[in-house]
Structure 1
Amino acid sequence: MATGRSLQLHLLVLLSASISLVWLVVAVWTWVDASHEVDELMDGHLAQAAAILVVQPLELTDDAVADAPVLHRYGARVAFQVFHEGALVMRSSNVGEEPLSKERDGFDTVRYGGESWRVFATRGAESDVQVYVGEQVDSRNDIVLAMLRGMLLPMALAFPLLVYVLWWAVHRALIPLRVLGDTLGQRKPDALNPVVLPETPREMQPLVAELNELLLRIERMLASERRFTADAAHELRTPIAAIRAQAQVALGAVGNKPERDLALNTTVAGCDRAAHIVDQLLALSRLEAGQTEAVTQNVDLSAVAQQVTADLAPTALARKQDLSLEADKDCMVAAHAVWLTMLIRNLVDNALRYSPDSARVLVRVGRSASGRVVLDVHDSGPGMVGADIERLGERFFRVLGHVQTGSGLGWSIVRRIAEATGAQVAVRPSVLLGGLHVQIEWPDLRK
């Protein structure tokens, strides 16, 4: 079996990548924010240092320059200059005599001595005094980098631990899926009972519910197949035994042509009955298994009824029965023509079969007062009592006392087709002909 990608690994990669991306966004945002805050802080220090220089008295002569000593290892990155009447009178040792900036007042970023400097310029207490205080821009960057390093380095060192914690969390979260797989793997092939998991997570409940629904459908399908096998064995036993008996009669009827012909004709009739039973069983099996063909078209019920009555007309004529059809136009039903044909054929065939010779059978197709499409089948046969009507649709149920052959499956097929096509079935005594009246109604497609 080909192995697909690991869900656990996929989740771990996604979570790790998401966290890394968030960390990267946080680092960029921190860099921008920290740079702004450091610039504000350092600019404030420059302005404060300039203010201190401004209030200091100038006691030097114009031809003397005082170099301030460097008292800290970062002192070389900070510089200042004091000019009096355009002449340099005080400076730090890390700058020359050229002014740090051309500006006279405010902040400026300049290149000086091959380095970038942030310079604050202001005038002294006297208008002829000019003060410059500067700081290398790299020192500010170093401060920001130190802040980021202090924040990101622990996060980077903790990342492997975080990945392990994520793996453990994902592994724990997927335990119900592994439990489900183990439970299914330990079930017997014929076990179709619902799957029950202790404390099923809410996200897995639809999956388990659909799985149980699938098992239920499989159980119904298998039960239908078992019933089909049992029905076939039960119903075919009688015609097969009759065929065998008639074949033996035909073999023994040496020189007796009439007896042999009767036996052979009876054998052919038995084969026809067996074939009819097989067709009915197959149709019922497909209906119970839910294998009805999808409704993809609207079918004219009148046309189907006309075709069925035309096919069964020779059977009615052979027994001198009156088979008539009254059909309105525009009686469309949402169903498949094959199933409608089977439904009408079973109803009309039953009416002809169980009605006496010279009886009447009336088939009507029309619309009710509410607009529903209605199929009515009346006959002048003996009818049925209420108890027998209630049992119509049970497999192999046949009213006692009838000599006509039958399998007892026709009504089961009728009810299953009606259910599949959304129709309602009613059976009552026929007011028109005195026998049985079967009425089937379908929804109005025009609404």
Structure 2
Amino acid sequence: MKSIRSKLILWLALLLLVTNGLGFINALWTAKEYYQAVHDASLAQRARVMLQLLNETRADRLDEVVRQAASRFEQLDLTYRQGWMLGDGGELRGSDRVRYQLWGGGRCVSANGHPCTQGGIFSNLSAGFAKQHYLGETWHTYTVYSLRHELYLTVGYPDALGRDVLQRAMWASWGAQMLLLTPLSILLCSLVVGLSIAPLRRLGRQVANWPAQPLPENDVLPLELKAFVAALARSRCAVAAAEARRRTMVAALSNRVTSRLQATAEHLQRHPEDLDGTLKLLSRSERAVRNGHLLSELDRPWRAKESRCNLYRETALSCARHYDDAVSRGIRLTLRGAQREGEVAVPAMMIQGLLDNLIDNAINASPHGAEVIVTVRQGEGERLLLTVADAGPGLDEKWLHPEYAVDGPGSAGGLGLVLVREVAATFNLSLSLGRSQLLGGTLLRCRFPTVAGD
């Protein structure tokens, strides 16, 4: 279930069911005490009616008094359903009749208007309300005393009778809500959710067709979506600007390779015996081609094993590749580093391109007899720090900004540095420029996040 609307409706339905269920439990807990009080009041009233019948009966013998009072009690229908609203489907393990018992002279006189058998029904003759067990049920009883006849009168009803009444009452109230009101509430919530997220769904369709279909204006959007659409438009502009810079860089690389190949051909025509000079020119053309390949590989996905390498090892290899060029220019290329372990989360190909361009730029910027120092050491936290220091005139910080692009082959070293910036931006590397206190030229720092070893 990936739709936001479906998830909202599902969670709202679950919320309604849970809240209704909790409400039902709370109402049941509250109503249980209420119905118990109502039943106890009805029980006490029946006991008082029976007591009044006993006191008003005129007869010489006690058994005749009991018989007449019991007959009138049953004629009033006070031993069955009257006033109890007992459901037709109520199932009682004992009897659904209200039981009453008369006790006098230390023995059971009558039970439900009949002579007592097996010691009677109830045994607790304490006045007032009590709970007693009879026929496998718990009975609620109420006991009063007749001074005229010196008899204890106990009236009781089983728990099952109260449960049946409570179940019917709760079903009458909550059954209608669960069967009618809850589905209606879910339907209304679904309509509200559908109407509320309609702008989001329309925006989703427009974004899917964007840029063929323009994004909606901010005036017609809900407040919550305005920032999103504005950020989306800015990102589109940023992507377009990055693509324009990329095309500019590709054009500059193409022009540079073409010009260097032409220079190589002219050099061969003029100096066919100068093979060393020709090889140097071809080497520079090869670096420009590698930069083009580096640019084309920036956006492709990398597998986990490809996206890590040993920074010190790659730095040493890059210094070795540039050593002969540095010596031919009278420049000392020095590699320093106390941190020779630790992998960084950058593919080896990208590290090679970044290092080659940095070292090549430092060599080109340094005067004859100067030194270029490349250092790898532990930085702050879990980062490795690469520094490249030269004795050149210094580097303009504008190339660190994404807005800066190379206009053509005339910007010496600029294209390689822009490629360095693109690699750093793609792999979340931190670049900063400073002044080398030792050599007097540029000090470039690049911080790499490390990865844990397998």
Q: How does the TM-score come out when normalised to structure 1? A: 0.65
Please say if 1:353 is aligned against 2:364.
Answer: yes
**Aligned-pair CA distance for 1:36:** 3.0
Distance between the aligned counterparts of 1:45 and 1:274, measured in 2?
Answer: 112
Does 1:323 find its partner at 2:332?
yes
- Matched to 1:353, the amino acid is N
Quote the residue 1:152 is aligned against. 171
How many Å separate the matches in 2 of 1:63 and 1:378?
A: 127
Partner of 1:253: none
Q: Which residue of 1 aligns with 2:6?
A: 6
Deviation at 1:136, TM superposition (A): 4.5
Give the drift of 1:304.
Answer: 4.9
| Correspondence for 2:190 among 132, 152, 170 | 170
Instruction: Please state if 1:198 is matched with 2:221.
Output: yes
Work out which of the residue numbers 389, 396, 407 in structure 1 matches 2:396.
Answer: 389
In the TM superposition, residue 14 of structure 1 has moved relative to its aligned partner by: 1.8
Report the equivalent of 1:36: 36
Among 169, 173, 185, the alignment partner of 2:205 is 185
Alignment correspondent of 1:254 = none
Q: Does 1:314 align with 2:333?
A: no
Task: Please list, as runs of the form range in 1=range in 2, the aligned pairs for 1:365-384 lying within 5 A after superposition.
Answer: 365=375, 375-379=387-391, 383-384=392-393
Deviation at 1:163, TM superposition (A): 1.7
**Aligned pair in 2 of structure 1 residues 162, 390: CA closer, same or farther (>3 Å)?**
closer
Name the CA distance, whole Å, in 1 between partners of 2:446 and 2:216. 36
| Highest RCO, 1 vs 2 (Cα 8 Å, sep ≥ 6) | 2
- C-alpha spacing 1:323/1:75, structure 2 compared with 1 (3 Å): closer
Indicate the percent of aligned positions where both proteins have the same amino acid.
Answer: 17
Once the two structures are overlaid, the 10-residue window that deviates more, 223-232 or 7-16, is 7-16
Secondary structure of 1:409's counterpart equals: helix
Q: CA RMSD in A?
A: 5.5
CA distance in 1, matches of 2:362, 2:104: 130
Number of paired residues? 410
Match of 1:438 in 2: 442
Equivalent residue for 2:414?
408
Structure 1 counterpart SS, 2:334: strand
The answer as to whether partners of 2:434 and 2:444 remain within 8 angstroms in 1 is yes
**2:298 paired with 1:280:** no
Q: Secondary structure at the match of 2:405?
A: coil
Residue 425 of structure 1 aligns with an amino acid whose one-letter code is L
Q: Distance between the aligned counterparts of 1:83 and 1:38, measured in 2?
A: 26
**Relative to 1, partners in 2 of residues 1:219 and 1:360: Cα closer, same or farther, differing over 3 Å?**
same
Q: Following the alignment from structure 1 to structure 2, what is the Cα–Cα distance between the partners of residues 209 and 320? A: 55
| Mapping 1:3-82, distance limit 5 Å | 6-7=6-7, 10-11=10-11, 13-22=13-22, 24-26=24-26, 28-30=28-30, 32-34=32-34, 36-45=36-45, 48-49=48-49, 52=52, 60-61=60-61, 64-65=64-65, 66-68=67-69, 69=72, 70-75=74-79, 77=97
Structure 1 window deviating more from structure 2 (114-123 vs 95-104): it is 114-123
Matched AA of 1:440? L
Q: How far does the alpha carbon of each residue in 1:5-52 deviate from its partner, in whole angstroms, 9 at most, with x for none?
A: 933652464245325533542464256434532453244335545664
Whole-Å Cα distance in 2 between the matches of residues 359 and 87 of structure 1?
Answer: 130
CA distance in 2, matches of 1:121, 1:61: 23
- Deviation, 1:195, is 8.4
SS of match in other structure, 1:29:
helix
Unpaired segments ≥5 residues, structure 1: 251-256
Letter in 2 for 1:389: D
What's the secondary structure of 2:430's corresponding residue?
coil
- Relative distance call for 1:194 and 1:276 in structure 2 (3 A) is farther
Q: 422, 427, 431: which is aligned to 2:430?
A: 422
TM-score (norm 2): 0.65
1:271-290 C-alpha deviation (Å, 9 max, x unpaired): 76555334324545766x69
- Rounded to whole Å, the distance in 2 between the matches of 1:179 and 1:223 is 29
CA contact (8 A) 1:333 1:445 kept: no
Contact 1:11–1:170, Cα closer than 8 Å, also in 2: no
Question: Any residues of structure 2 matched to 1:193-232 within 5 Å, and which?
Answer: 196=218, 198-200=221-223, 217=235, 220-232=238-250
Q: 1:239 to 1:147 in 2, by over 3 A?
A: closer
Cα distance in 2, alignment partners of residues 314 and 265 from structure 1:
12
* Preserved contact between residue 433 and residue 444 of structure 2 (Cα < 8 Å): yes
For residues 292 and 114 of structure 2, the distance between their equivalents in structure 1, rounded to whole angstroms, comes to: 111
- The answer to whether the 8 A contact 1:374-1:441 is kept is yes
Q: Distance in 1 between matches of 2:326 and 2:18?
A: 80
Moved more, 290-299 or 49-58: 290-299
CA distance in 1, matches of 2:57, 2:139: 26
1:82 & 1:309 partners in 2: Cα distance? 114
Secondary structure of 1:362 counterpart: strand
Is contact 1:110-1:116 (8 Å) kept? Answer: yes
Q: Deviations over 1:66-103 (max 9, x none)?
A: 513244334555565656658999x79x6212274363
Deviation, structure 1 residue 172 = 0.9
User: Offset at 1:437?
Assistant: 1.2
